[in-house]
Each structure stands twice: as structure tokens, then as C-alpha cells.
Chain A
Amino acid sequence: MAFLPRQLIFTRRHRLVVLVPTLVLVSLVLAFPPDGQEHSPWLLFAGKFHLLTIHFPIALLYLVPLLELIGRHKRFSHLRASVEFMLMLGLLASLFAASLGWALARNGGYSGRIVAQHMWGGLLTALACWLCWILRDHAASRRGNIVYWAALATTIALVSWTGYRGGQLTQGENHLTEGMPAPLQSLLGISTDESAAADATTVAVVDRNTFYGARVEPIFAKNCYSCHGPNKQRGKLRLDSYKTILRGGKHGAVIKSGNAVGSELFHRINLPQTDDNAMPPSGKRRLTPDEIKTIEAWIKAGASETSPLNSVQGAPTSIAAAPKEIELPEYDPSIADKARSMHAADVASLQKRYPDLLQYESRTSAMLSLNASLVGEKFGDSDLAFFRPILEQIGTADFSGTSITDHSSDLIASMKNLRLLRLSRTRVTDDGVMRLHDLAHLQSINLLGTQVTPAMLEAIASMPRMERLYVANTKITPASANTPTLKQKLIF
């Protein structure tokens, strides 16, 4: 590559001087590593600005290769004059932000693998940046140029990787993958299954046949690992293995075997949420009474790692008895627009033709609910024919009291996703009903008051999902059921 403008702003001595704070910072990190404790509230406060300041050097460093590349063009070659200044500024800014980062990690109760990786990543970035600055002087030669670009590439890679690790610290470990569309996930072979992720970071293997493994460990895993696990050890406490539970935290043991009330852990989980020492702390999910009782029974029985599942007295029978919380997720109605787009025109014209009969099952669903019973006898076979383009979108269909006959059976049989079908008080017969036996999702069929006979029972009852057959006022009687399973499905 061609000539590089030598507009030296800084002397060699400048460069060596800048190395000093870098090395100071490195020694600081080595001497006072983040240890999961909170040392100085002042430094912690300063450390909070790490998140604000860090983006400045990141942007600067990304700009450097960009300017170098654009600057190759004659019209923009003047841009390259600023590169050196930017490298220097990027280095100083990253050192400043990194010191704040150290203050945050050292005083914010951080420790663990990800913090360490993020921290060393940041320091290496600063060093790489410094290296770029030095190497740029020698980039006039072909070899020097290659070395310079390699250093630049390393810097960018380090910035990206460190940034990703930082993101994991603040946003959660799978902050990039969790919202990833499913097709992309499978393409990249990423699994966001939380249990898999947890297993990967949990070193200890627990025996699920013991009370500890089956009942206690899951409570800790669900409620405590995020702060007292492999990645963070607030108060120097790790609860992700039996050994570390016994070792306790910075105030000593958290569990006194046989003495639940005297155990720090049990004391803390029983404190009211407003108490500063309450665990899990305010804002996190509280342990349920059953979970607390389980831990209490375990400690009382000696807090053993190996005692078998049924050896602990007084524990609630099952964690499954815990309240069943219903998730009310945020949802985006526009998702449905996409799924509906293929049939939207057909649905709209049918809704116009048959007002009120055809509705989407929900605001986020593309499945439809057809209720022809509202118009009764006025709805016949010829009407159903109009629904041909959207048959597969129909999840529930109610033809009660309409004048449809066996002629519609093939149309109904094409409703591949049908879950519920009502044919009560129609003129359908065995013949028509038996043609529906391929509806793999059908759970409930209503044949009340039709001419069906026991002859069609076998075919319908053997459908894979079929659960309920309404057959009152037909020729079918409870005696028609020849197996107990069939008997359970018939409703009179």
C-alpha cells in the first residue's frame, strides 16, 4: 500500500508515557481484583459511569479502520490525518472507562468468569490500541502495513468481544440469542433453552435421588444462582454446589445443620421483603411458603447432601403445589397481520358476505372460528362452498341447526386444523361423519339430535385427538360403547 502521511502530533516519548497508566491499571486489577464484595460506595458511584463512558472509545475505535479505508480514496485522504489523534484519544478514553469499570466491578459485588473476561478484554483492547498507534509509524512498508492492519483487526475483534461480554453482564447471558427469530436460531444451531445454559455453567452434578438434589437444589437454582452462582458471588457466597453452600459467605457459614432458625440462610429468606437483608432481595421473586418449608425441613434433618428423597420429615409433598402463576405476556397484534396476510382478502370478503359468522380466534391468531348456527337453516351446503379458500384456517366450526348435509362432508374433512365441530340438529348421517376420520386435530364433535347410529362410532372414536362425542338424542345409547375408553368419550 502506498504512502502514509507522516504528520506526527506525538513524539515517541508521549507514547511511552501513555503506557504508564495502562500498566498502573493492570497492576491495580491484579492487586485488587473484583471479589464479589462491596468495598467503597464512593468508588461504586464513580463506577456506575462506566456504562456511560465506555461507548465513547468503542465508537472511536470502530471509526479508525473505517477512516483508513475511506481515506484510501484520494478525495478523502485528508481523513487519515485524524487517525493518529483518534487512536490516542481512543486509548486514553478506554483507559479512563476501564478504570471506572474496575471501580464498578471491585465495589459492585461482581466476580466470576464473565466479569474477568470482560475486564481482561477491556485491558487488552487498550493495549492493542496502543500497539496500533506504534505500528502505524511503520506502516509505510508493505510488511509494516500488514502488521498494522492485523493489529487493527485484533483491536476491533477485542472491542466487539468485550462489548458482548459486557452486554451479558448487564442484559443477561443470552441477551442476543433470546429474542432471535426461531428460524435464525435453528440455522445458527443456538438453543436458548435455559436449563441447557444453566447446565453448561454449573459444574457440580447433583444426585436427583437425594432430598438435596431433588428438592433443595432446584429452589436454589431457580432463585439464588443469579447472584450466588458461577458468574456472580455476592457476599462471597456460592449456592450452586453443596460444598460451597457449607463453606458459606464472607460472614461465615450460612447453614447450621439441624438448626434452621439459627441458620443465616433460613433467617434471611424469612425476613420481610422490606428488610435490607431479606433474600432474595426486593424486586426479585420471593420464595413461596412451600419452598421455605422445604428448606426448613432439610436444615432440620441435618442439611445432608446424600440423605434420600423420602428421609426428610415435614417437607411439603411437592413443589408443584406452589401457586400456578399465569403469564400475561406482552404481545404484538401486528404479528397476526403477517400470518393472516395470505387469506386476508378471502376472509374479508366472506365476512362481508356472512356478517358475524366468521371471526379470528384471537387478535394474535390467524385461525378462524366459524359459527353458522347464528343464521340457522338459512345456511346450507352451497354457502359452505364459498369458504373453500380458507378451510384450513378454521379451528372451530359450529353448524348447529343449519341445513348442511353429507354433501358438505368433504369440505369439512378439508378443515385440517379443526379442533371443535358442531353438527347438532343437522341432516348429516353416518356416511358423512365417517368421512371426517382424517381430521387429526379434532377433539370434540357434536352430533346431538342427528341421524347417526352406532355404526360410525368406531371410526370417529379412533381419531387421534378425539376426546368428546356429544350423541344425545341419537340412535346411540350408552350400551353402544363397547370399550371403556369409548364410553368415557361419549356424552349423553
Chain B
Amino acid sequence: MREHDHDDPKTSSDPHIAEEQERAALTGMLPAEKLAYLQAQTRRHFLRNFTAGVGTMFLGASLPELCRSVHATDRSIDGNLRIDFVRDPSHPLSVLPPQFAPTAKRIIYLHMAGAPSQLELFDYKPDLAHLDGKDCPQSFLAGKRFAFITGVPKLLGPQYPFHRAGQSGQWISDRLPHLEKHVDDLCFIKSMKTDQFNHAPAQLLVQTGNARLGYASIGSWVTYGLGTENQNLPGFIVLISGGNMPDGGKQLWGSGFLPSVYQGVQCQSHGDPVLYLKNPEGVSRQARRSMLDIVDEINRQEHKEFGDPETVSRIAQYEMAFRMQMEATDTMDIHKESAATLAAYGARPGEASFANNCLVARRLAERGVRFIQLYHWGWDSHGAAAKEALNLGFQDRCRETDQPIGALLDDLKQRGMLEDTLVVWGGEFGRTSMKENRNGGSPFVGRDHNPGAFTIWMAGGGVKSGYTHGKTDAMGYEIVKDPVEVRDLHATMLYALGFDHRKLNYPYQGLEQKLTTVNPARVVGEVLA
């Protein structure tokens, strides 16, 4: 019967009318279904359901208070900061304007997984060069915990020469010749700090605001707040390169307590962009459509019965996947770019490289994707092996990323997109001023983790250009001026997108959950243009 409905051109031409008719049919059937259901009940069913039922009665009374779903809540649990927007639960990804005029419409976040050494790239410490090889002062070590350093380590000077670049005259090492051309577009924060000194929790802190599992990532918050501009693509896309997943795993782009429709979609830069997105052989798009229609209908019925927002997520995701079949494949296909563009990025179609991902990031940004997250693995320069030594593997990481980032900034600037795209580059913590000497006398040079100070940069979308915020001590070990917490960075990013970080919240477990957590966060006004 339903098949017949859909073949009818009158009803299928307008999806809204079709939907309404379906709904009417469903309601009409319900009493009969209920009767059948009741007739099938046995004594055992009754006894089993009874106990659950008592619990349900309690929950029924308190549930609306305990877990309000995507529906609008007029007042927050803590009573003062109101959530001021309404999400239509049947369109969880529809576009919502931000709270106030934004300076950025989207973010491209380049996460250098493993934490690149600020002392070899941006944070120039000539004094450290003079002290190279000297014993580390005790004051540096007292009360500190390190991932690997034991005993009294030696100080390690900068491994690469630095020079001033651009009109702004900011220091940069010779490892990043392409980025150097953009130094006047960059806004450095050299006083980032974190409280995590291991990769996975530190990455989680940077990406979800919390070092533990189960919290919503920046991209999820942004998609939750703003929706998806292009309904044929996810609002939050993740691209991975460097041969490994970041230590934090897929939780880094998870949606945590937010409905899972807001989680990041990991795309591949080689092969199918999204696994299993293509129709299996022998299944036409038409056949896939009618299958989805039936699945949707079942899901809608389920949602009507239980009201679980995850059911809505599922419907939305099926629908998006169907629309993505066309658009995603096209967007991810960098064959469509000119040879000159491919050369500028150093991209080779078919590889899983950072260069390809940067090019894809630009294509996604052009098509209205809100949050594009790139991870490049391999920056954990302990010096325990050639691959991760500051004097070897580190150079490769710089080469792999420098040209693509330069080309991405070039492209965004040329296309006028740097005006409303915020590019963020950074790792999860910094590296120590001391040499890590795990294997004694090895030729490899490395540094341990330093949560006390690290450098990130931002460009475009409303941040100052050619500017440096914050300062570390002469060893580059601790912050001496304007410390910036990770949550301050989050608040600043949300501000650029037009959000008061305190008001982008979601009620869960009795708390107005926020990206910036319960701790006070500060919008770093100094870096805003």
C-alpha cells in the first residue's frame, strides 16, 4: 500500500504532503496495533514490565526535568543563562544564525598530533642556545612530572636557526619557508597552557574542553549551534593523515552528550571519501531511495513512541548520507583541481596525505562546511627513534605540512575566504627546554612533553594579523605573560563564530554543559582584530 502511495505522482511530488498522509495513515492504524499488542501479552510479560513500569513512573515524573532533549529550554538549570535558540528536533542540522554578528563563518583546525616543538618553530630562545648541554636548574624540576624525563636532564638549545620575517618581524625558524610568507597574516599565542601531559587526554582537552572521554568536540558544538549550511554535506568533517590516528581516537570528534548527529564525519582522502557511502552493485539510486523511505517511516514511528532524539539523529544521518552520495564524492575528488593547484599544495590524488587533506579542506570550506578538522600525526619528537627525532623525523613533518599550509592560506586569501574562515594551527601541549635522553648517547635529539607552555597560531576570520600574544621565560619553559588556557582559546573561537561561550550550552547530568566547562573562560580580546 505504501509503495503505491509513493508511485502516485501527486503525493510524491511534494514530500510534505506525502509525509502528512503517511502520518494520518499511521495514526489510523494505531488502535488496531495496540489491540494486537495487548492480546499478545502474557503473565510473564506483565511481571517483567511491571517492575520496569514502576521505575518508568518515577522517570516519567522527573524525566522532563532530568534530560531535556534538543528541544528549546527557556531557562537553564543554573537559572541565569538562557539557551536562546530553538532546534526543531526533526531538522537537527538546519541553519541557525549565531548569537551576535560573527567574524568567522567556519573554522579549519589543523591539529598537529603529537605536539610539535614550539622551540624549533616559533618560540625563539637565544639564551637557551647559550645554555645548551648545561644541567637543567633544579627549580625547573621541583614538583614537576614528566612523561619520560628522569634524573637531571641537560638543557637543549634550538635545533634550527631562527630569523625575523615579514613586516611584523616575528621570529620563525628556517623549517617553515612557505608559512614564513604568511607570517604577517598569523596571530601567534605563545602562552598556551594545559594541565595534561599525555597525548590522549591532552588532545581530548584541546578538542572537547575536557581531558576525559564523553564530552562534545568543538566541531560538534559549532554544528549544534549553527547547523549545516550545505545540507548535502555534514557540518563537521574530519580528515586524517600521517599514517596513524591521533592518540585520542575518534572521541576527538565525538559529540559526547550532544545528539550524535553533531559528531564529526571522518572522510578519507583516498578511495571512497566515506566508507560504504556508494550504493552496492546492483542497487540503483531509486531503489535506495525507496528503501530509505521505509526505514525512515519505521524510525519516525519509533520516535513517536519513545521520543529519543537519537532516532531523529538516525533519520537525519540516513538522509544526509543519501544526499552526500552525490556531493561528497564530488567535493572530495581533487582530480578536479588544476595541475597548478595540485602542485602548489604538493598534492597527489589518491594518497592519504596532509597536502591532499589541505586541498580538500579548502574545497569543503567553499561548499559551506562549518568545521573542518585536520589531524597530522607524527610530531611526538622524543628522540627515541629516527622517525621522531628533532634532527630527523621532525624535518619530514615540517616538509609534509609547510607547503600545504602555505598553499591553503594562499588559496583562502586569494579567494577572499580568509575574511570569514578562521584557521587554527596547534598541538596538544608544548615540549620541554630540556633534552630527553632516553637511550643515552643516541644520535637522535628530542624533547619531552611540556604542558606548561606551547604555541599555537590563528589566521583569518577576525583575529589580528602579524601579532604575537603572550610570552614565555628565557628558556621557553614557563609562561611569564598573558597565559591562555585551552578554554580561553575555545571561548575566543566561539566568539569569532558569534557565540557567547556561556550561552552555547546543553543540559546534561544536571549541568549546563559547555565547551569551556564550569571554569571561567576568558575571550582573549587581545588577539581579536
Contact = CB atoms under 8 A, between A and B. Distances in A.
Interface of A: 323-326, 328, 331, 333, 355-356, 359-365, 371, 373-374, 400, 420, 422, 424, 444, 446, 448, 468, 470, 472, 491-492
19 contacts: A323-B526, A326-B528, A328-B501, A331-B99, A331-B100, A333-B84, A356-B229, A359-B95, A359-B97, A360-B97, A361-B97, A363-B97, A363-B100, A364-B99, A424-B415, A424-B416, A448-B414, A470-B415, A491-B413
Interface string B353-373: 000000000000011100000
Given A333-B84, A364-B100, A374-B367, A328 B502 contact: yes
Contacts of A492: 414
B395 interface: no
Given A362-B102, A365-B97, A374-B229, 14 more contacts: A323-B525, A328-B502, A328-B523, A356-B229, A356-B230, A356-B231, A362-B98, A371-B229, A424-B415, A424-B416, A446-B415, A448-B416, A491-B413, A492-B414
B132 interface: no
A472 B414 contact: yes
A37 B469 CA distance: 45
B415 A448 contact: yes
A319 to B, nearest CB: 14
Nearest to A325: B525
B458 to A, nearest CB: 15
Nearest to A449: B415
A326 B99 contact: no
B422 to A, nearest CB: 16
Nearest first, the 8 closest Cβ-Cβ pairs linking A and B are A324-B525, A326-B523, A446-B416, A326-B525, A470-B416, A328-B500, A360-B97, A472-B414
Which of B85, B367, B368, B419 has the most CB atoms of chain A within a 10 A radius of its CB?
A: B419
B498 interface: yes
A362 B414 contact: no
A183 B84 CA distance: 27
Contacts of B98: 362-363
A360 B85 CA distance: 13
Interface residues of B, number: 32
A323 B100 CA distance: 22
A123 B363 CA distance: 76
A365 B502 CA distance: 20
A423 to B, nearest CB: 10
A362 B99 contact: yes
Nearest to A445: B416
A363 B85 contact: yes
Contacts of A356: 95, 229-231
Contacts of A361: 97, 101-102
A371 B420 CA distance: 13
A472 B368 CA distance: 21
A281 to B, nearest CB: 20
Given A361-B101, A363-B99, A324 B526 contact: yes
A437 B73 CA distance: 46
Given A325-B525, A362-B498, A374-B367, A444 B97 contact: no
Interface of B: 84-85, 95-102, 229-231, 366-368, 413-416, 419, 482, 495, 498, 500-502, 522-523, 525-526, 528
Contacts of A446: 415-416
Nearest to A289: B481
B501 to A, nearest CB: 8
A362 B100 contact: yes
Contact of B101 (A365, A371, A444): A365
Nearest to B481: A289
Contacts of A424: 415-416
Contacts of B482: 323
Nearest to A322: B526
Nearest to A396: B420
Contacts of A420: 419
A444 B528 CA distance: 19
Nearest to B96: A363
A324 B495 CA distance: 14
Contacts of A331: 99-100
Contacts of B366: 373, 400
A209 B500 CA distance: 40
A470 B414 contact: yes
Given A362-B101, A374-B367, A492-B414, A468 B419 contact: yes
A331 B275 CA distance: 44
Nearest to B100: A362
Contacts of B368: 371, 373-374
A325 B413 CA distance: 29
A374 B97 CA distance: 17
Contacts of B523: 326, 328
B160 to A, nearest CB: 31
A50 to B, nearest CB: 29
B333 to A, nearest CB: 16
A365 B523 CA distance: 22
A371 B370 CA distance: 14
B190 to A, nearest CB: 16
Contacts of B230: 356, 374
Given A333-B84, A362-B98, A491 B525 contact: no
Contacts of B526: 323-324
A422 B368 CA distance: 14
Nearest to A420: B419
Contacts of A324: 525-526, 528
Contacts of B414: 448, 470, 472, 491-492
A422 B416 contact: yes
A315 B75 CA distance: 47
Contacts of B522: 325
A323 B524 CA distance: 9
A420 B418 CA distance: 13
A444 B102 contact: no
A444 B419 contact: yes
Contact of A468 (B96, B416, B495, B502): B416
A367 to B, nearest CB: 8
A468 B526 CA distance: 24
Nearest to B523: A326
B416 A491 contact: yes
Most buried by A among B84, B231, B367: B84
Nearest to B102: A362
Contacts of A333: 84
A424 B415 CA distance: 8
B368 to A, nearest CB: 6
A491 B528 CA distance: 22
Contacts of B84: 333, 363
A474 to B, nearest CB: 11
Contacts of B100: 331, 362-365
Contacts of B528: 324, 326
A470 B102 CA distance: 21
Nearest to B226: A359
Contacts of B416: 422, 424, 444, 446, 448, 468, 470, 491
Contacts of A359: 95, 97
Contacts of B419: 420, 444, 468
A338 to B, nearest CB: 16
A317 to B, nearest CB: 14
Contacts of B101: 361-362, 365
Most B CB within 10 A of own CB, among A355, A363, A420: A363
B244 to A, nearest CB: 35
Contacts of B413: 491
Contacts of A448: 414-416
B284 to A, nearest CB: 24
Contacts of A326: 495, 523, 525, 528
A468 B414 CA distance: 11
A129 B474 CA distance: 75
A331 B98 CA distance: 12
A444 B102 CA distance: 16
A323 B525 CA distance: 7
A356 B101 CA distance: 18
